[in-house]
Structures are given as C-alpha cells and as structure tokens.
Structure 1
Amino acid sequence: LIKESFFDVIIYAQFPEEYQKNQSFLFEHQNELVFIIAHLHNRLELCQALGLPTHNHDSKIVFEAYKKWKDKGLKKCLGKWMLISLNFTTQQIALARDHMGMFNYYYHFVNNSLLFSTNLELLKQITPSILELNFKHIAGLAIGFNGLSDETAYNNIFKVSPAHIIKFQNNKKITQKYWEPVFNESIYYKKEDDYIQHFISLFTNIINELTNNNHIIASTLSSGLDSSFVSAITASELLKQNRILIAITSTVKNPQTPVKSPYRYADEAPLAQLVAHQYPNIVHIIDKSENTNPFEGLIKAVNTHHSPVRNAGNQYWLFSMFEQLAEHKVNTLFIGQMGNLTYSWPFFNPKPRHPFHWLQQLKYLLAFYKPYYIKNSYLNSSFIKQQHYVSYLKKQQYNPNFQSQNLIKARQFFFKQIQSFGYTSWNEKANQYGINIIDPTADVRLIEFCFSLPNHIFSNKQGNRMLIRKAALNYLPNEIIYNPQKAIQSADAFERFIKSYPLYENLIQSSLQIEAVQHIFQTKKIIHHITEKKFSTHVVLRTLLISLFIYFATNKSDFRTN
C-alpha cells in the first residue's frame, strides 16, 4: 500500500515465491513512481541499447527503457510485462500492457483510488464497492464472442488492452495503441529458399533466447504443424545443451472415438509420437485426461478465472495438462497458439464468393434476422430483444464465419480478434501451477517478419501454409507436413459429458434455477436437450460454464466453501 501517492494503490503480483527472490518491482525516478512486472524476450538486445549489465532483472530493464524513451521505450520491450506509473507532478496515472497481452491484469477505480491485480478474485475481495455482473459480456461468451478487449464479467472492473497505454488525468481517460503490425509485402528475395532460411534463422534465435536459462521446459505437442514445429526447433536447440524437452499431447481416451467427417480425426497421439521419436531428448507425455471430466473442467475454470471463458469444452483437458506438467516440475511451457496467423498461414482455403452473396448481406441487415449462432444458442428471446443483442453484435463486428479471398484483409481481421483478447486464460491457468507460459509463434519479431512476406510464399499452386511446410522438411515427419486431415479437440467430450452428468446433475440444476441465469438462457430447453442426449457439446458446456459462474458469483454459500 503506497500511502504517499495521490492514489491509494494496492499492489498484488501472483507469481511463484522463487520468482520474486532478490527482485524489485517498484522503481522511483524524480517525480515518478513506477511498478513493473516483466519477462522479456529480447533482454540482451535491450541491455546493449541501454548500456546495462546483462545480470539486471527484466523489470529493471523495462524501467530503464521507459525512463530513457518514455512511451516509445515500451514498444521496444518484447515479451510479457505490465507497467503502472504515478506522476506526482502532473497527477497522472498510466497503465500499460505488452504487445500481445501475454501478461494480464485488472483494474478498478473506487473512491479516488486505483486497485489493480493479476487476480480477479483478489480484486473483488479488496474493493469496498458493490460489483455488478456484465450480462451483455457474459452472454457473448455463450455464442463464442469474447467481447471488447477491456471488458470483464463485471461492469466496473476492466482489463488493459494489449499494446495499449491508458492515461488518467484530471478525471479524463486517454487510451492509445502503441503498436500494431504493418501488413505489407516489404521483404523481397530473389530465391524462395532465402525466405525459408530467414524464417528458420529468426525462429531458432527466438527459441534460443527463450531457453537461455536453467528452466525445465515443456511444449504442447499436437498432431498439427504449429505446435509440432515449436517442439521440433526447441528440442533441436535443447539437445545441443544436453537438455530434455517435455512434450505433452492431450488426446481422447478411446483411440477409436468416431468422428462424422472423413477430413477429421480424434486421436492425435500417433502423429505426435512420430515427432517425439525423431528427437532423442523429448520426454513424451500422452495425457488422456482420465481422472477428470467436462464438469470438473468447468468448476476449475470458475475457480481459476473467476469469469466464464470462451472455450468451455477444452477446460477439462487443459487443467489435466497443467497438472501433469506441474508433477514434472515444469517451469516454462511453450505453445503455438499464434502459428496459424504467422508461419502457418493461411489456415483455411479461401472460398469463392457465393453467387447470391448479396442475399446473405441483405438478410444480415434485416432487424428481425437472427444469425445462426444466435439460433443455435440457448439465449432467451426476451434477453436478445431487451438488450438489442443482434444489433450490438453487428456494431462490434462479430462475424465468426468471416472469410475473404483477400488474404491480407483476412489476416488483419483474425489478428485483431486474437490480439484484442490476449493470453489471459492461458496465463491465469499457468500462474496457478507456477508455470511461465510463452508463445514463440506470437513473438513480435516473428509477427512483423511474417506479415511482411509476399502472399505467394504462403499460398500458391502447391497449396496453402507453404512457408511452414517447406521450413519443416528437415524437422518434422512427412506424415505431419502433408497431413490433409485436421484433428478435433475434445473429440470425446460428449461421451465424457453423458457419463459424468449424473454426478453433477444437482449442481447444474441449482445453477439453472438462479434468476439471472433464467433471464439470459432458456433453462428448460437446456435440461430437455441434456435429458434427450441431443445437443452440441460445446454450446451446452459454454452455457453451463456461464450458469455455474453466475451461481458461484451470487451464492456465497455454495458447495466449494465446505
């Protein structure tokens, strides 16, 4: 608690105890007090530019960059970080967040005080004000809409958007975005192989920087190109240091789990094993999430995030994965979440414009028209009408079916969606298990490089995703590089749901009886569909996660207390 400032600021950082030893997060310079938590990816480059010894902690490096270059210095700090500045002379407070939202934190103003925390539940506990649920935001998650980048499940608690600086002064709020990538074809080589070699060199250097420590490192290893390439390059570089890589593959219980499409499959283990067997230093964990179920995943999600999350159907295996990694004392986990937009682009086949596309656009403009994602949801018609929800979604440009033959336009659209949400849920899970989460495919240098390449490097007569297919030739098995099928995440979630539902039926029924839940959802329809065993697993799980969140948020005497 900093009582000397013109604001009362409560500081909380959720990190393992060993991460905080001998490290400072609070800095003073002239008339300014600055609080920083950072994990940099380009620390050596910054130390050289600032003339600092390399033993300085990352938070100190960010502070020196901020002190020397002010706001422009934050753009140079690549990695995950948060910053809060209090200027005693101008009485200005500034909040800033890293480029891709790798670090997350929340803030709340009350009684001329700013409260901020990396933990939403703690912020709720320390605020003296009454918090109201943001039903419009919560309902959006039921149809897959993450909401605005600064929104939370509470009306008066906010997030700092990725790559943004927010300044408060004289009762005014000024928000500015300090970075966004340029989408242009500014890099040209005479030979196609030069693009490939430049990419491999850049990505290998990024991995080397991230592994320049004594951490136990793990990676997610699916059967797809993105995570497989991250695992392969990481294993290659760690092998040079006689270090292991723990690679974890989440898959179904039954390898014969049926799928409806011939272009999809359920079991990712066989292809992932091909990668693991190629590198002698990979310790491969195949996690079938046998000790959990979808409802446990929902409950753990509420306990961890204190808010609903979009991918409710994946929660059970995500928590199972983190529990496995914690047992192996993993310090750092590499993921490949952004690979689809950087080196593995385009991840879809651009469709030609439908001959009656104008009819689709006309339907979309009609006031009474309900998009398919509304029709397929359990949202109440009265709630949709009262909140003018279809108009609201149009205004927010929510379009889950967006595709464009213009690949630059499509990339801009998808990047904006991913960057605005950031890595909040990944970080909150990882923090709970004392693990540092990093996505090398979202490194700013890689984003700027890939977004500067000509389109033909990614998509040409040979097919799509050609940059990574050619770069991976010496790193991955052909079965993965040329795999025409795509795996289904949580492919056996329906069977798991049906088997475990009786154990949680009373809890689910109780949550669906909450007045606020019935205001948003058609609860009788939900129960009917579950009873008849005819429902979309992901749609139902999203809905139940929201109902459980509201139940826990409004019921102080729930079963978790006992």
Structure 2
Amino acid sequence: MNLFSGIHTFQSQILNESIDRLKMSTRKFKPLQELEHREVNLFLENLTLNKQINKEDDSHHLIYSENDCWVVSNSRIDNREELLNLLSLQVNDHLSDNALLLKMYHEYGNEFVKKIEGDWTLAIWNQAKQELLIARDQLGISALYYRLTDEYMAFSTYIKGLIEIDSHSIKIDEVYLAGIMTAWNTQSNNTAFVNIQYLPPAHYGLVKNGEFTLHRYWIAENTPELHLESEMDYVKQFSDVLEQSVKNRIRHAKNLGSQLSSGFDSSTITTVAAEIFKKDKKRLTAFTSIPKEKTSDYFPEHTATDESYLSIPTAQFLGNVDHIIVQSENQSIIKNIYDSLELHHAPLHAAGNMFWIHQIYLDAQSKDIDTMLIGQSGNTTLSWTGYPEGLQIKRLIKRILGYKGKEKFSPTSYLQYLIAEIKNKLNSNRLPSWDSYSFISNQFAQDLDLIQKMKETGHDPTFSNSIHNKKGHINFINPLFSKIGALWQDLAYHYHISTYDPSTDKRLVEYCISVPNQYYQRHNTNKWLLKTAMKGRLLGNLIHQKKKGRQATDLAIRIQSEASEFQELLKSFRSNKAIQYYLDCQKMETCLERILENPRKKEAYNDSIFLTRGISCALFIQKYDKRLYKK
C-alpha cells in the first residue's frame, strides 16, 4: 500500500517550502520506505505504508523510470498475466507493478488505463512531451486528488498535502457542504474545498502546457446484456467471477480480516474468502460490531439491531474463522468525530458510524491484520434484488395516491401522511423538504439557491422518486462521482491495513449489469442469483432471513452517556458566526434535548444520525472559519 504525491510547475522552479509542506503532511503515517524524484519543474514522491507481501517492496520500485518517463502508483493489478501477454513478455514475478504500468503506457499510450484491472491510482511524467497523466481505477478503494492553479498542478492520494501546500488560499466549497448537510449527491468531483478536486472513478487527467483535460475511459452503462443457454449458466458464471474478485484481493494477505454483519454481502465475501483460505489450511478473522447494550425494544421487529445473531453462527459454520465481537465500549463519539475530521479533512455523511469502524480497525491492528475485506457496495452487485417488471398493485396505488411517505405503506400511514401534507399546504411558512433530516440554515440554503441547484442535478430531497429500472440499477452501481473509496483508503493509510471491497470489482460489476433482470427475481425469490449461487455455502437462516441489519443502533444511548460534552459543544457553536450562518444551531440543541429526554424512543436513532452529521459539519466549519468566513 503506497501513498504518492507530486507537483508540476508550469513556468517556474518548484519552491522547496512547497515540497516540504507536501511531504510533512504525510509523515504522520510513519512510512516504512520512501523515494523521491526532483527536476526543475517536477517533484514526485512515493511512500510505502505497510509491509508489502509480494516481491515489489524494494524502495527503488516506488518510482520507476524508463525512456525519460517516470511513474508512481498505489496499485494492486489483478490481470498481470494478461498484460504481460499483451506486451509479449514472459511471466516474471520480479517485474514491479510500476514497471508493468509504464511498459503498458509506452505500448498503448494514454488509453492503456482501459486494460488495467484492480484497485489502482497512478501518475506518469513524460519528460519528452512535458506531459503529466494522472489516472485511477473504475470503482475501487482508492482516491486521487489534484489542485490546479495558473502556476502549478499538485496531486496526491491523500488530500492534506494539497491543503497545506497553500493553506491561506483554501476555501470551503459551499455546495459540497450543503450536499453533506442534506444527503445530496451533488454530482461533481468537488471536495470540501473549492481549490481541490477529486479524480472521478474511471477517469484520467492530462496536464500539458498548463492546461488540464479530464477523460472518462470506462462507461458501465455500455455493458451489453448477456444471454446464456440456461439459468444455471448465469449462476455458474456469477460464482466464478465472485470467487475471482475475492481471490484477487487476498492473494498477498498473511493475516486477513473481514467486516462481518448479518447481511448477504459481508457474509458472502467472508464465506468465499474462508473457502479459499481453507484450501491452504489458513484462518481469517471476522469482526462484527454490536451495540453495547440491548436496543431491539425500540426498533421495528424486522430490524436486526444486534447482528451477531447471524454472524456468530456464520463464523462457526465456516470453521476457519476467528470471530471478534466489537462493542466499542471505550469510544467517545465527540472525540471520534474530531479524529475523523482530522483524518479525512471533510465533514462526514455517516459521522455517527465512524466510532465502530475505527474500533474494528483498532482491534484488527492488535491482531496484526494486514488486509481487510468489506462489502459496502454489495447491495448493487452481489445482493441486487432486481427491479419490478411492470407495475405492481401496491406501487400503482401509491403512485395514484401520490404517497411519498417513508413509513411502510398502509391505510394508517397514508392517513398520517395525508394529514401532514394538508397541514404543510395550509401553512404559509411551509418548511423545506429537508427540514426533518438536516440542520442546514434557511439563510444559507436561500443564499445558495439550494432548491434550484438540487433540481439541476435531478436530486429529489424527499427521496421518493427512486427509479425502478435498468437506468436506476446503473445509477446505483456506477456512481460517476463516488467518493466511497476515499474514506476507506484514508482508514487504510491510518491503520496500515490494506482495505478492499470485492463487490466493486470491475468484472463483477460488468457481469451484474449484463445479467437480465429476470435472474434477480426468479421463482418467486428475490436475490435469486446470489441465493442460488450460495446455497449450501451460506447458512440457511441467513438466506431466508427477513430482518435488515443496522449499525450503531445504540448511538442515542452513547450520546446520552456523553450528554454534558455534547451540551457544551453545541453551546460553543453559538459564538461562532460561521457556524451560525451555515447551520441552525438552535435546532441542533432542540434535537439533542429530544435525544437526552428519551434515547430509547423510536425517533432518537434518526435524530442521533442527523445530529452527529451536523456536528461533523460544524466542526469542519470551525476548523477553517478563521480564514474562510466572510459573510
């Protein structure tokens, strides 16, 4: 696992202080190896953060040069043999990934990125052309940021260096901030800072003569539909692609970990990994987060609030899995939000989940885990349910009645929804549709013209107009500006644990898109493809489960245990003009009062999620408002 950075200046020599700032921002990760390359108008560095298991960990491979070109990368290439055959080279374990990438570049030009499978990011400097190429994978656990000015292009797989290189000119991106506050995907490659962009998945960027161009090289929606002879052919091919996607990500793991919940995705990934390891008489460690005390009494019956009820028997069933229950007893919610902000340098949508994620990594570190498997994107691939063919009766009724409620549809829920809608229409001061789940201030929303900006991206702030068709599936499976990989890459850097999600494998994604919809809902069974492929391999109770797991179900209880700290923190927000402008601080205090009054109320869970998200935004603003706030 590598972290690389660089600067390319257009008309002048790179200043040493700029290089020093870039370098200092990454040394907190305590690299095991490092190498740099300098020219008058170019600086490159690459750091190794964990012990490489393959034969590519010699420091001279961190920056590879050939034919007046230099390459740095953070890569796990899954189709090495295929690429070597394309280059008419013998399979050679001593050829580093960087050497292979540069040879592919020389052979195929910029479009070589289309041929690379795996989780990877890279930068190539072509001295003869005075051209810089940056690129990243299709959907992997990876990130690459860049900062473009009239004087230079700086880039890094970790954002802090790009902030520190010129911190005085950093500005908050208000649209990005509003997106976090209102759970709105802004459909852009912006970061939390106006001056720094995020290279989108399946893109490469070219810098030449001070000009930057962005190119998309993989388009998931162009994947053709697959037609096989029998339904079991689809199952067999799905199993093969799934197994290969897991095998690719664990081939160098000495001590493998997985995040195991009660759901299909993590259970499937853990199962396949355990099956592969069992052949070599190896074990893996699975981590399951559960609440520190019982919470099922204030959640609907169909919610699994403690996911160990299926993860424990799953680990026992597999036989070669050491199972760790994680209760995060010593985690402070407020401290964790501070720490997460310092690591990610952005407010977090799921700030209320970070405490148990960090605890899993801490426990994994204590077990010397070097590779961690997750399955966050599996609901769009592995366990995709398909979409209804035609209009179902209940959906038709809901459409006719105009029902957009989030509660389960019933005569009672519809009547409650109708009463609320009538009250809204009669109220001359009608609240915006995000009022129930966001603390964004009305003044900020108005100044930003938020409703119009949401409309321009096709966003529905009521979250009622999901698209139940092929287009909807691709929108879920192929988020063009997804930043999920960035969060996990930061965690991997911080804990020195390589982290991968097999459910984002490009070939698996393409396969799942190509499968006709009828094989996801078949024989009166949803998720038919996965359930058939994993029959006998997953627990029967898991395959037939009706419950849906939730994490951090004790978040409200944890907030109550830190009540005085939360109250003092929210009180401090009142004296910060920037926070007061962006956020409705009184509304946040009222929300906290509701939680503390009864953390076991049904509404307390959602209140806690929204409050921790709002606090994450407030602390982000507080961290930068002395330089930025000019209202």
Task: Find the counterpart in structure 2 of residue 114 from structure 1.
Answer: 153
Task: Find the counterpart in structure 2 of residue 39 from structure 1.
Answer: 76
Query: Which of the numbers 249, 254, 263 marks the counterpart of 1:210?
Result: 249
Task: Find the counterpart in structure 2 of residue 285 from structure 1.
Answer: 324
- Within-5 A mapping of 1:6-85: 7-9=41-43, 11=45, 13=47, 15-16=49-50, 20-50=57-87, 51=89, 52-85=91-124
Identity of aligned residues (%): 24
Q: Alpha carbons of 1:11 and 1:146: their partners in 2 closer, same or farther (altered >3 Å)?
A: farther
Distance 2:330 2:403 in 1: 49
Query: Which of the numbers 433, 458, 471 marks the counterpart of 2:533?
Result: 471
8 Å contact from structure 2 (residues 295, 554) kept in 1: no
Per the TM alignment, residue 370 of structure 1 is displaced from its structure 2 partner at its CA by 6.3
8 Å contact from structure 2 (residues 337, 354) kept in 1: yes
Letter in 1 for 2:441: N
Distance 1:488 1:347 in 2: 22
Per the TM alignment, residue 15 of structure 1 is displaced from its structure 2 partner at its CA by 2.4
Per the TM alignment, residue 256 of structure 1 is displaced from its structure 2 partner at its CA by 4.5
User: Aligned pair 1:387/2:448, yes or no?
Assistant: yes
Moved more, 346-355 or 262-271: 346-355
8 Å contact from structure 1 (residues 96, 160) kept in 2: yes
- Within-5 A mapping of 1:159-170: 159-170=198-209
Task: Find the counterpart in structure 2 of residue 453 from structure 1.
Answer: 515
User: Aligned pair 1:520/2:559, yes or no?
Assistant: no
- Within-5 A mapping of 1:101-250: 101-110=140-149, 112-127=151-166, 129-182=168-221, 186-250=225-289
Instruction: Tell me the secondary structure at the aligned position of residue 220 of structure 2.
Output: coil
Task: Find the counterpart in structure 1 of residue 23 from structure 2.
Answer: none
Distance 1:188 1:484 in 2: 31
Per the TM alignment, residue 59 of structure 1 is displaced from its structure 2 partner at its CA by 2.5
Query: Which of the numbers 416, 420, 436 marks the counterpart of 2:498?
Result: 436
Distance 2:103 2:527 in 1: 40
Distance 2:173 2:82 in 1: 42
Q: Alpha carbons of 1:359 and 1:286: their partners in 2 closer, same or farther (altered >3 Å)?
A: closer
Distance 2:465 2:298 in 1: 25
Per the TM alignment, residue 346 of structure 1 is displaced from its structure 2 partner at its CA by 2.1
Distance 1:405 1:124 in 2: 38
8 Å contact from structure 1 (residues 13, 117) kept in 2: no
Task: Find the counterpart in structure 2 of residue 352 from structure 1.
Answer: 395
Task: Find the counterpart in structure 1 of residue 438 from structure 2.
Answer: 377
Moved more, 84-93 or 191-200: 84-93
8 Å contact from structure 1 (residues 95, 165) kept in 2: yes
Task: Find the counterpart in structure 1 of residue 125 from structure 2.
Answer: 86
Equivalent pairs counted in the alignment come to 551
Instruction: Tell me the secondary structure at the aligned position of residue 298 of structure 2.
Output: coil
Task: Find the counterpart in structure 2 of residue 252 from structure 1.
Answer: 291
Per the TM alignment, residue 94 of structure 1 is displaced from its structure 2 partner at its CA by 2.2
Query: Which of the numbers 298, 317, 323 marks the counterpart of 2:337?
Result: 298
User: Aligned pair 1:273/2:344, yes or no?
Assistant: no
Q: Alpha carbons of 1:416 and 1:395: their partners in 2 closer, same or farther (altered >3 Å)?
A: farther
Q: Deviations over 1:91-144 (max 9, x none)?
A: 332221111142212221346222222222232223365211112211210111
Task: Find the counterpart in structure 2 of residue 480 from structure 1.
Answer: 542
Per the TM alignment, residue 47 of structure 1 is displaced from its structure 2 partner at its CA by 3.0
8 Å contact from structure 1 (residues 222, 250) kept in 2: yes
Q: Alpha carbons of 1:369 and 1:100: their partners in 2 closer, same or farther (altered >3 Å)?
A: farther
8 Å contact from structure 1 (residues 289, 316) kept in 2: yes
Task: Find the counterpart in structure 2 of residue 309 from structure 1.
Answer: 348
Query: Which of the numbers 601, 620, 624 marks the counterpart of 1:549?
Result: 620
Distance 2:553 2:347 in 1: 21
Distance 1:475 1:427 in 2: 30
Distance 1:147 1:76 in 2: 30
Distance 1:545 1:214 in 2: 34
8 Å contact from structure 1 (residues 225, 480) kept in 2: yes
Per the TM alignment, residue 546 of structure 1 is displaced from its structure 2 partner at its CA by 0.8
Distance 1:300 1:226 in 2: 28
Q: Deviations over 1:275-304 (max 9, x none)?
A: 100122100011011111322321221121
TM-score by length of 2: 0.81
Letter in 1 for 2:43: V
Instruction: Tell me the secondary structure at the aligned position of residue 451 of structure 1.
Output: helix
Letter in 2 for 1:180: I
8 Å contact from structure 1 (residues 106, 160) kept in 2: yes
User: Aligned pair 1:424/2:486, yes or no?
Assistant: yes
TM-score by length of 1: 0.90
Gaps spanning 5+ residues in structure 1: where?
557-562
Query: Which of the numbers 373, 380, 399 marks the counterpart of 2:460?
Result: 399
Task: Find the counterpart in structure 2 of residue 539 from structure 1.
Answer: 610
8 Å contact from structure 1 (residues 332, 435) kept in 2: yes
Q: Alpha carbons of 1:278 and 1:375: their partners in 2 closer, same or farther (altered >3 Å)?
A: closer
Letter in 1 for 2:313: L
Instruction: Tell me the secondary structure at the aligned position of residue 83 of structure 1.
Output: strand
Distance 2:376 2:216 in 1: 23
Q: Please, what is the CA RMSD of the aligned residues?
A: 2.8
Distance 2:216 2:447 in 1: 33
Instruction: Tell me the secondary structure at the aligned position of residue 417 of structure 1.
Output: coil
Q: Alpha carbons of 1:417 and 1:181: their partners in 2 closer, same or farther (altered >3 Å)?
A: closer
Letter in 1 for 2:526: N
8 Å contact from structure 2 (residues 220, 510) kept in 1: yes
Q: Deviations over 1:61-84 (max 9, x none)?
A: 222222221222212111222222
Q: Deviations over 1:526-559 (max 9, x none)?
A: 1132134376111111100111122233469xxx
8 Å contact from structure 1 (residues 265, 487) kept in 2: yes
Q: Deviations over 1:228-287 (max 9, x none)?
A: 000001001101111111111111112454233222120100101111001221000110
Moved more, 334-343 or 398-407: 398-407
Distance 1:347 1:506 in 2: 47
Moved more, 45-54 or 129-138: 45-54
Per the TM alignment, residue 520 of structure 1 is displaced from its structure 2 partner at its CA by 0.7
8 Å contact from structure 1 (residues 101, 424) kept in 2: no
Gaps spanning 5+ residues in structure 2: where?
1-5, 8-13, 15-37, 405-420, 598-603
Instruction: Tell me the secondary structure at the aligned position of residue 55 of structure 1.
Output: coil
